[in-house]
Chains A and B, each alone.
Chain A
Amino acid sequence: MKNSQDRAPIAEALIKNVSKRTVSFDVPGHKQGQGNPLLRSFLGQQALQYDVNSRRDLDNLIHPTGVILEAEKLAARAFKAGHAFFIVNGTSAAVQTMVMSVAKKDEKIIMPRNVHRSAINALILTGAVPVYVNPGIDLNLGISLGMSVKDIALAIEEHPDAKAVFVNNPTYYGICSHLQAIVDLAHAHKMKVIVDEAHGTHFYFNKLLPMSAMAAKADMAAVSMHKTGGSLTQSSFLLIKDDKDTNRVRKILNLTHTTSGSYLLTASLDIARKYLALNGEKLFNSVIALADYARQEINEIDGYYAFGRELINGDTIYDFDTTKLSVNTGGTGLNGIEVYDLLREKYDIQIEFGDLGNILAMISMGDSTAKVERLIGALDDIKDVYAKDSILLKTQEYIHPIVRLTPMEAFNAKQKKIKFKDSVGRISGESLMAYPPGIPVLAPGEEITSGAIDYILYAKAHGSFITGMEDDSMETIKVLEV
């Protein structure tokens, strides 16, 4: 098959299907919108006519042999992967499939401590054992970074039986690890590399952006096409480097993936892939220019620090995704959550998120200069109207966890509540995290140490947000009965 990226086989088949005017006596019961006028007026006939069931000329997602397989192959070419799977259960489904593809029960997987919950959920499903690596922390900005190659080498040395290394690249804030070195190191030790690339779809379509997982020859990558690639929410790609693995990975994916994948979602992936393959270089050039412009203008306003490539340190910040507009707000005396709330309530501006020290605005191919001017203008006005004395946030160093039970064992174990301060030596049933920097202090199955208790109490006393404790007063904690 020639590399005809101007095709979108699923979308084309859907259009053809409508033109045939086939009368349908199959699901979905709204029958191209005719059966539900309320939904039709809400979404429009155009969308509903494409919400159809698998049929011969539309292929099926579980075992594709027609237009879906063709679309998967085109996507694989676009991402320079061995194969690309269309995912409609969110990137979480792709992450779970990656974990389940590389580690079975009691097998080890090396991962950063602040891994996404979808990876932990996959560990609960499979019974695999996490080996946590310090993700690195920037104490001034209060954010977690990438994994240091040195730390991964150490983990590999201590756990030579580990099956794989899990990398989160880029982070939410746009921080990239030295992916190439990590892949080379892991492969030299016969370990697979799987990459949560939820925030890095655009890396595949522009030369100015950091290296993608497939370019670094990682074994698998979960790519949230819907985040920065322009497809509908919940649609993603799972990429694998070696197409010989296709059938095995498909079998694992089908354990949890829906049997009736939405054609609105798969067609949106198909069309978004076509659009990026044809226009990505140009589109992301302007996204980069827009974000760079915003960073420059925001840095001229007192109190804000829109960080960028100057942070690069060759290791835990090996590269930086400049399309992420991350702004430290500490100098205004306002924390990121306050700025997030002000933007939303007073300025009708919705940003991606705010934490104690920072806000993050996602700049994409849907933005214009005028819209970005609004964000800059709002930040300027917030500084004029709401600024307080600047705050210094206390961020602590990394706390090494002691994993006693696998996440699966902890998930299935009986639990009881005891006083938090008397819980030293017990095994935690809860997952505790302090913001900043948003790295777990304790996770289910881990031994509660006096260091962890001291840290949590200290962080709370110094204005950090503690999440994950069932008891809001933090008097009690759930521990395992064992």
Chain B
Amino acid sequence: MELWFTEEHSDDVRFSIRIVRQLFSKRSHFQQIDIFESKEFGKVLVLDDSIVITEKDEFIYHEMMVHVACAANPDLRKVLVIGGSNGGCVRELIKYPFIEKIDVVEADEELIKACKVHFPKITKSLEDPRVSVIVSDGLKFVRKLNKVYDLILVDSTDPFGPNETFFTREFYGNCFTALTPQGILVTQQESPFYPQTAAAMVRAVTRMKELFGILKLYQAQIPSYPSGHWLFSFASKDAHPIKDLDKVFWKELNVKTRYYNEEIHSGCFALPNYIKEDILNETN
């Protein structure tokens, strides 16, 4: 029997993976959670019909979420991860000895439990003594804080579902207040290739620019995500992602990575013209 999972990347584009078996399916208070096993991508976590991670390419996403900011600011001590209950971001963060505290805030307790059962290799990182997992609405959690974190990572799903909040001015504004004066906010900003997500990215970036002195977009290639071309944002109060990169220091830390390296660090901020000119309306 043929069993395929299909995700609609747009109204007219589909992406399919052959499924060996379904491991988990449950509707939580927030979303539909599905976990499959596949031949090509290993285990796949799907929320509301969209792929969130696959075992095969999650390292690209998680390394790019974490190392760009950590390499640009070796002074960071306290980190907040919003979402990210699968532990992928935390696995990368705990590679840095100078990080003292990592708080993971996730609203969906069912998702935390399901990841723990089906992605034990990744969620193992959450057992590091520096890590606390807090079940709460992300915006509510940051709203009550003032100058607490040096880095906030927003490991969210797309801007049209239950994580819509994480693309809004009120969320970015409260993150700004929760960050220390050298604080950095890193978010994933979907694919620039399809118009709907590109427009959402432009809205989100406009909101962040109203708050942060430094705002740069960077990119990565992630095969299981729509178009495979993915954007991240680096918003910072002080540290510049390229000028403040201390390559020697980072090398000495001897952090093991499979995607990220110093050349990618500088190169990933170079954006294609179609993004700069057509989407961001920047002129060269």
Q: Please say whether chains A and B are actual partners in one complex.
A: yes
Which of B141-195 touch A at CB < 8 Å?
143, 162, 164-165, 168-171, 173-174, 177
Q: Give the size range of A's interface with the partner.
A: 10 to 19
In the complex, which of the residues B140, B177, B207 has the most CB atoms of chain A within 10 Å of its own CB atom?
Answer: B140
Flag whether B122 is at the interface (Cβ < 8 A).
Answer: no
Are A377 and B177 within 8 A (Cβ)? no
Chain A residues closer than 8 Å to B171, beta-carbon distance:
374, 377
Are A373 and B140 within 8 A (Cβ)? yes
- With contacts A380-B174, A381-B173 known, is A373 near B168, CB below 8 A? no
Are A373 and B169 within 8 A (Cβ)? no
Are B137 and A346 within 8 A (Cβ)? no
Are A376 and B143 within 8 A (Cβ)? yes
Flag whether B49 is at the interface (Cβ < 8 A).
Answer: no
Q: How many residues of B contact A (CB 8 A)?
A: 18
Flag whether A384 is at the interface (Cβ < 8 A).
Answer: yes
Flag whether B268 is at the interface (Cβ < 8 A).
Answer: no
Q: Interface code A345-356, partner B: CB below 8 Å = 1, 0 otherwise?
A: 011110000000
Are B210 and A377 within 8 A (Cβ)? no
Flag whether B139 is at the interface (Cβ < 8 A).
Answer: yes
A369 → chain B closest CB, angstroms: 7
- With contacts A346-B210, A384-B177 known, is A374 near B143, CB below 8 A? no
Flag whether A38 is at the interface (Cβ < 8 A).
Answer: no
Q: How far is the CA of A346 from the CA of B207 in the complex (A)?
A: 8
- With contacts A373-B139, A377-B143 known, is A384 near B173, CB below 8 A? yes
Chain B residues closer than 8 Å to A369, beta-carbon distance:
137
Are A380 and B143 within 8 A (Cβ)? yes
Chain B residues closer than 8 Å to A376, beta-carbon distance:
140, 143
Chain A residues closer than 8 Å to B174, beta-carbon distance:
377, 380-381
Binding site secondary structure of chain B? helix
A143 → chain B closest CB, angstroms: 26
B281 → chain A closest CB, angstroms: 20
B90 → chain A closest CB, angstroms: 23
Which of A364-407 touch B at CB < 8 Å?
369-370, 373-374, 376-378, 380-381, 384-385
Q: How far is the CA of A369 from the CA of B162 in the complex (A)?
A: 11
**Which B residue's beta carbon lies closest to that of A380?**
B143
Are A348 and B165 within 8 A (Cβ)? no
**Which B residue's beta carbon lies closest to that of A301?**
B143
Are B173 and A373 within 8 A (Cβ)? no
Q: How far is the CA of A71 from the CA of B270 in the complex (A)?
A: 64
A186 → chain B closest CB, angstroms: 47
Chain B residues closer than 8 Å to A374, beta-carbon distance:
139, 165, 168, 170-171
Chain A residues closer than 8 Å to B165, beta-carbon distance:
370, 373-374, 377
A306 → chain B closest CB, angstroms: 15
B237 → chain A closest CB, angstroms: 14
B201 → chain A closest CB, angstroms: 15
Chain A residues closer than 8 Å to B168, beta-carbon distance:
347-348, 374, 377-378
A349 → chain B closest CB, angstroms: 8
Q: How far is the CA of A259 from the CA of B177 in the complex (A)?
A: 58
B141 → chain A closest CB, angstroms: 10
Are B162 and A370 within 8 A (Cβ)? yes
A422 → chain B closest CB, angstroms: 50
Q: How far is the CA of A260 from the CA of B168 in the complex (A)?
A: 44
Q: Interface code B220-256, partner A: CB below 8 Å = 1, 0 otherwise?
A: 0000000000000000000000000000000000000
Q: How far is the CA of A381 from the CA of B143 in the complex (A)?
A: 8
Are B162 and A377 within 8 A (Cβ)? no
A83 → chain B closest CB, angstroms: 41
Q: Interface code B191-204, partner A: CB below 8 Å = 1, 0 otherwise?
A: 00000000000010
**Which B residue's beta carbon lies closest to that of A379?**
B170
- With contacts A370-B162, A370-B165, A376-B143 known, is A381 near B137, CB below 8 A? no
Q: Interface code A181-204, partner B: CB below 8 Å = 1, 0 otherwise?
A: 000000000000000000000000
Q: How far is the CA of A378 from the CA of B173 in the complex (A)?
A: 8
Q: How far is the CA of A384 from the CA of B143 in the complex (A)?
A: 11
- With contacts A346-B210, A370-B162, A384-B177 known, is A378 near B137, CB below 8 A? no
Q: How far is the CA of A377 from the CA of B140 in the complex (A)?
A: 7
A473 → chain B closest CB, angstroms: 37
- With contacts A373-B139, A380-B143 known, is A385 near B170, CB below 8 A? no
Are B173 and A385 within 8 A (Cβ)? yes
Q: How far is the CA of A380 from the CA of B140 in the complex (A)?
A: 10
**Which A residue's beta carbon lies closest to that of B146?**
A384
Chain A residues closer than 8 Å to B140, beta-carbon distance:
373, 376-377
Q: How far is the CA of A288 from the CA of B173 in the complex (A)?
A: 28
**Which B residue's beta carbon lies closest to that of A300?**
B144
Q: How far is the CA of A374 from the CA of B166 in the complex (A)?
A: 10
Q: How far is the CA of A374 from the CA of B162 in the complex (A)?
A: 12
Chain A residues closer than 8 Å to B169, beta-carbon distance:
346-348, 378, 381
**Which B residue's beta carbon lies closest to that of A378?**
B170
Chain B residues closer than 8 Å to A384, beta-carbon distance:
173, 177
Chain B residues closer than 8 Å to A349, beta-carbon distance:
170
**Which B residue's beta carbon lies closest to that of A346?**
B169
In the complex, which of the residues A348, A373, A374, A380 has the most CB atoms of chain B within 10 Å of its own CB atom?
Answer: A373
Q: How far is the CA of A370 from the CA of B168 in the complex (A)?
A: 12
Chain B residues closer than 8 Å to A380, beta-carbon distance:
143, 170, 173-174
Are A381 and B170 within 8 A (Cβ)? yes
Q: How far is the CA of A373 from the CA of B136 in the complex (A)?
A: 11
**Which A residue's beta carbon lies closest to that of B177?**
A384
A167 → chain B closest CB, angstroms: 38
Are B137 and A370 within 8 A (Cβ)? yes
Chain A residues closer than 8 Å to B203, beta-carbon distance:
348
**Which A residue's beta carbon lies closest to that of B163?**
A370
Which of A73-104 touch B at CB < 8 Å?
none
**Which A residue's beta carbon lies closest to that of B107?**
A370
Q: How far is the CA of A260 from the CA of B169 in the complex (A)?
A: 45
Are B162 and A347 within 8 A (Cβ)? no
Are B170 and A347 within 8 A (Cβ)? yes
In the complex, which of the residues B162, B173, B174 has the most CB atoms of chain A within 10 Å of its own CB atom?
Answer: B173
In the complex, which of the residues A346, A370, A376, A385 has the most CB atoms of chain B within 10 Å of its own CB atom?
Answer: A370
Which of B84-122 touch A at CB < 8 Å?
107
Q: List 9 A-B contacts (CB under 8 A).
A: A370-B162, A370-B164, A370-B165, A373-B165, A377-B173, A378-B170, A380-B174, A384-B173, A384-B177
Leading 10 A-B pairs by shortest Cβ distance = A381-B173, A378-B170, A377-B170, A377-B139, A373-B139, A347-B169, A377-B143, A373-B137, A373-B140, A381-B170
Known A347-B169, A377-B174, A384-B173; further 5 A-B contacts with Cβ < 8 A: A346-B169, A370-B165, A378-B168, A378-B170, A378-B173
